[in-house]
């Protein structure tokens, strides 16, 4: 039993490095970190979901995105929109290192599915209200946790690092559910690109705006931070100039190749939508 | 509610659960208004399943049908639970997302289209993993955008239920209709058992599963809006009334749920029955 | 997974397209439409390999009673011969409705 419990500190490390803890908000629970920090010419709101060994919900101690994390994300995003009403909608940077949503009988009973929906709802609502949303993948971006924190972004950026993984289910769980060995699963991922876990395969799906290479993902140096901040600022500007929906995800060269069926479905639906 | 005697109602009842997706969509739409888009003969199948030796279905397990509900233009997305557990792949997910995006386009042009989602799904299709997950994110985005224009109605009937990333889609709906046979949860029981151990959840304990995530429990705790018998006409009638219901979405009740969670001790959480009292519906006792 | 193809002589034109079934465990879907020529063509994609001879027996029997020049696509997930015949007959019944 058990997940691949590599409790990553990357989310917190990148949050601290990028914000310098400038403009840190006092948020409870401590698993959700929020700071309003300078990025280029503007102030952007940085949000990370991190492990907290002292959390009152056991499954949030190792960094799983649980009930309070999800509802708190929703609260923070809604407040962001409310605070900026009538003014310039500030950018929101989601720093993503989330291994999974919380698993448990108590979580299911208390509606973890609704909590995660509320987070996704609030992120989407902020995007529709004109806030540029940028997700920066620094570690794991898995499943329901990623749906709740990051996947509603206008632009998704990722560090080119072997520990940056994107998928719908942890390798161990997927191996058990499909009755395959880990090796067999990895081999499948090499043949079938949407089944792979690593970020370079994910980049081939056309969903990434930028894959940031040559950065020390575990211990970013000063130069690394300058580069990443520049990429974030550029992504924000790109998002402001673009649409508030997610249609950009089907426009890249990679998408036209690997998501060709997604594009064809939409084209054919449009053709058939109105009765002849 | 029919005034006919119980035995007569029983004899004239038609199970919705026993219907395949196409017939469910037909049952929801006004008589003679059903028109399928991207049907079997369009052959938009999964490009990924045959590469793995899995036989693809001609519609990839989702039926998109336009028609009318209560006389108003509508679109129904019905997931076929019998094909790969109703799991969401690239094509099936894009059919749902694309239909919702077109409904949104029409709404923005002043021609409202009512969206209804018939959710019978285990979540992401693992054979297409990241493309399924991406499509689900696009479905969420479309529902949130659509809700500003029209109510988005979801139905979870069973027996597959609604799990994984699609449980978030159910939770985003303006009105969610469930049967007693339905289940609605994020992590499937088998996955919880594997991730957290059998002491946490025995996936073979059906009574326990339904007590936690079953339709009746979800309705009694306000996580679903209407509890309906497994009867096609009753469900269709509930959908007809739901498309007229303008309500504040459950997924926006942030302060309410944070307050509720704050008063729960994770070390001593409420039992399912007790939660019904704590999170009682305002209209407890009816639906 | 195996793909099998069969052809039968057939004179009677087929008027419309018909779809029945679901690719569920132990089940199959049948897509039936007019053939481009005076033959019936059957393309079977099946999850169970090595049963070509059984498919031939079932289809021989089916076409001994059905004379339509149809292009038939079958997507099968381990159905028994009985269920295959049932779905084919269901398709023909729908055709004649």
Block means of pLDDT (10 residues each) for chain B, length 287 residues?
A: 66 91 98 98 98 97 98 98 98 99 98 98 97 98 98 97 98 98 92 79 89 98 98 98 96 98 95 96 59
Q: Whole domain around residue C77: which residue ranges?
A: 2-95
Q: What is the per-residue pLDDT for A5? A: 45
Band of pLDDT at residue A4, cut at 50, 70 and 90 = very low
Q: What is the per-residue pLDDT for B9? A: 67
Which residues lie closer than 8 Å to B67 by C-beta, 6 or more apart?
Answer: B29, B30, B33, B34, B35, B74, B75, B76
Which residues of chain A have a CB within 8 Å of the CB of B275? 109-110
Return mean pLDDT, chain A: 94
Which residues of chain A have a CB within 8 Å of the CB of B266? 56-58, 106
Band of pLDDT at residue C41, cut at 50, 70 and 90 = very high
Average pLDDT over residues A11-18: 97
**pLDDT at residue A157 greater than cutoff 90:** yes
**pLDDT at residue A98 greater than cutoff 50:** yes
Which residues of chain C have a CB within 8 Å of the CB of B39? 19
Q: What is the per-residue pLDDT for B284? A: 57
Nearest residue of chain B to residue A118 (CA atoms): B251
Q: Which residue has the higher pLDDT, A101 or A149?
A: A149
- Scanning B191-210 for CB atoms below 8 A from A yields 191-192, 194-197, 200-201
**pLDDT at residue A1 greater than cutoff 60:** no
Average pLDDT over residues A117-140: 98
| CB contact B20 to C (< 8 Å) | yes
- Domains within chain B, CATH numbers bracketed: 13-249 (3.90.226.10)
- With touching defined as 3+ CB pairs under 8 A, do chains B and C touch? yes
Q: What is the per-residue pLDDT for C57? A: 98
List all chains that touch chain C, counting a touch as 3 or more CB pairs closer than 8 Å: B
Strands (E), C1-97: 2-9, 18-21, 27-34, 39-46, 70-77
CATH of the domain at C26: 3.30.230
Q: Do the chains contact at B55 and C17, CB–CB below 8 Å?
A: no
Average pLDDT over residues A11-26: 96
Q: Name the burial class of residue A130, with classes exposed (0-12), middle (13-18) and buried (19+) by CB atoms within 10 angstroms of its CB.
A: middle
Q: What is the per-residue pLDDT for B194? A: 76
List all chains that touch chain B, counting a touch as 3 or more CB pairs closer than 8 Å: A, C
Instruction: Dump pLDDT digits (tens) for A235-247.
Output: 999 999 999 999 9
| CB contact B90 to A (< 8 Å) | yes
Q: What is the per-residue pLDDT for B7? A: 75
| CB contact A130 to B (< 8 Å) | no
CA–CA dist B191, A178 (Å, integer): 11
Q: What is the per-residue pLDDT for A7? A: 65
Quote the number of domains for chain C: 1
Average pLDDT over residues A51-58: 87
Look-up of token digits 């006004």: B30
Q: What is the per-residue pLDDT for B125? A: 97
**Sign of CA pseudo-dihedral B270, B274, B278, B284:** positive
Rounded to two decimals, the pTM is: 0.96
Q: Do the chains contact at A177 and B191, CB–CB below 8 Å?
A: yes
CA–CA dist B2, B282 (Å, integer): 25
Average pLDDT over residues C2-30: 97
Phi-psi region of B219 (alpha: psi -120 to 50; beta: other; left: phi over 0): alpha
Which residues of chain C have a CB within 8 Å of the CB of B50? 1, 45
Phi and psi, residue B72, nearest 5°: -100, 145
| CB contact C89 to B (< 8 Å) | no
Q: From the CA of B17, how many Å to the nearest CA of chain C?
A: 15
Residue B83 has its nearest CB partner, among C22, C73, C76, at C22
Band of pLDDT at residue A87, cut at 50, 70 and 90 = very high
Looking at chain C, the whole-number percentage of residues with pLDDT higher than 70 is 100
Q: Which residue has the higher pLDDT, C97 or A91?
A: A91
By DSSP bridging, strand C27-34 and strand C18-21 are: antiparallel
| CB contact B53 to C (< 8 Å) | yes
Q: Name the burial class of residue B35, with classes exposed (0-12), middle (13-18) and buried (19+) by CB atoms within 10 angstroms of its CB.
A: middle
- Model ipTM over 0.90: yes
Nearest residue of chain B to residue A174 (CA atoms): B126
Q: What is the per-residue pLDDT for A236? A: 98
CA–CA dist C85, B103 (Å, integer): 40
Q: Do the chains contact at B55 and C1, CB–CB below 8 Å?
A: yes
Looking at chain A, the whole-number percentage of residues with pLDDT higher than 90 is 86
Look-up of token digits 């529902």: B143
């Amino acid at each position: 039993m058990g997940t691949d419990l590599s409790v990553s500190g990357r989310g917190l490390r990148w949050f601290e490095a990028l914000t310098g803890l400038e403009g840190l908000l006092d948020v409870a629970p401590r698993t959700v970190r929020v700071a309003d920090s300078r990025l280029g010419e503007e102030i952007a709101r940085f949000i990370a979901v991190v492990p907290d060994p002292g959390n009152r919900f056991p499954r949030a101690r190792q960094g799983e995105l649980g009930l309070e994390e999800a509802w708190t994300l929703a609260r923070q995003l809604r407040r962001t929109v409310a605070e900026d009403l009538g003014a310039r909608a500030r950018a929101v940077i989601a720093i993503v290192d989330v291994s999974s949503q919380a698993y448990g009988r108590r979580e299911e009973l208390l509606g973890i599915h609704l909590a995660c929906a509320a987070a996704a709802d609030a992120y989407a609502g902020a995007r529709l209200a004109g806030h540029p949303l940028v997700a920066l993948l620094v570690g794991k971006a898995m499943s329901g946790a990623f749906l709740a924190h990051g996947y509603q972004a206008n632009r998704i950026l990722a560090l080119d690092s072997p520990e940056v993984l994107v998928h719908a289910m942890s390798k161990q769980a997927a191996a058990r559910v499909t009755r395959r060995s880990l090796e067999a699963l990895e081999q499948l991922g090499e043949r079938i690109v949407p089944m792979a876990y690593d970020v370079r395969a994910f980049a081939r799906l056309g969903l990434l705006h930028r894959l940031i290479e040559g950065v020390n993902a575990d211990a970013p140096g000063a130069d690394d931070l300058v580069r990443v901040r520049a990429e974030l600022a550029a992504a924000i500007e790109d998002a402001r100039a673009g649409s508030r929906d997610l249609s950009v995800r089907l426009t890249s060269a990679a998408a036209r190749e690997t998501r060709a069926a997604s594009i064809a479905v939409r084209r054919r639906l449009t053709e058939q939508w109105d009765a002849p | 509610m029919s005034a006919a005697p119980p035995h007569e109602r029983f004899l004239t009842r038609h199970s919705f659960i026993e219907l395949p997706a196409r017939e469910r969509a037909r049952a929801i739409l006004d008589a003679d208004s059903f028109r399928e888009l991207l049907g079997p003969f369009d052959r938009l199948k999964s490009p990924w399943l045959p590469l793995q030796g899995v036989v693809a279905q001609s519609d990839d397990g989702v039926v998109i049908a336009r028609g009318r509900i209560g006389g108003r233009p509508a679109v129904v997305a019905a997931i076929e639970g019998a094909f790969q557990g109703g799991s969401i792949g690239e094509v099936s997910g894009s059919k749902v997302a694309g239909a919702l995006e077109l409904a949104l386009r029409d709404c923005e042009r002043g021609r409202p289209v009512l969206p209804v989602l018939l959710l019978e799904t285990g979540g992401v299709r693992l054979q297409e993993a990241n493309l399924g997950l991406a499509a689900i994110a696009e479905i969420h985005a479309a529902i949130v955008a659509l809700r500003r224009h029209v109510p988005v109605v979801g139905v979870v009937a069973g027996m597959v239920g609604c799990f994984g990333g699609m449980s978030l889609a159910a939770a985003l709906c303006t009105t969610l209709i469930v049967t007693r046979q339905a289940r609605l949860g994020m992590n499937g029981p088998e996955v919880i058992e594997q991730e957290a151990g059998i002491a946490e959840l025995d996936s073979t304990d059906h009574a326990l599963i339904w007590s936690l995530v079953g339709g009746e429990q979800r309705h009694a705790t306000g996580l679903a809006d209407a509890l309906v018998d497994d009867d096609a006409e009753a469900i269709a009638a509930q959908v007809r009334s739901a498309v007229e219901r303008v309500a504040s979405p459950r997924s926006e009740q942030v302060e309410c749920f944070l307050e509720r969670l704050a008063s729960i001790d994770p070390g001593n959480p409420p039992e399912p029955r007790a939660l019904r009292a704590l999170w009682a519906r305002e209209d407890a006792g009816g639906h | 997974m195996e793909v099998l193809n069969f052809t039968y002589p057939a004179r009677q034109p087929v008027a419309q397209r018909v779809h029945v079934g679901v690719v569920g465990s132990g089940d199959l879907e049948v897509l039936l439409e007019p053939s481009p020529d005076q033959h019936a063509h059957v393309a079977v994609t099946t999850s169970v390999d090595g049963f070509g001879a059984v498919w031939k027996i079932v289809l021989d029997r089916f076409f001994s009673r059905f004379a339509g020049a149809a292009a038939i696509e079958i997507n099968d997930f381990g159905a028994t011969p009985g269920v295959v015949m049932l779905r084919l007959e269901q398709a023909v019944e729908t055709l004649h409705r």
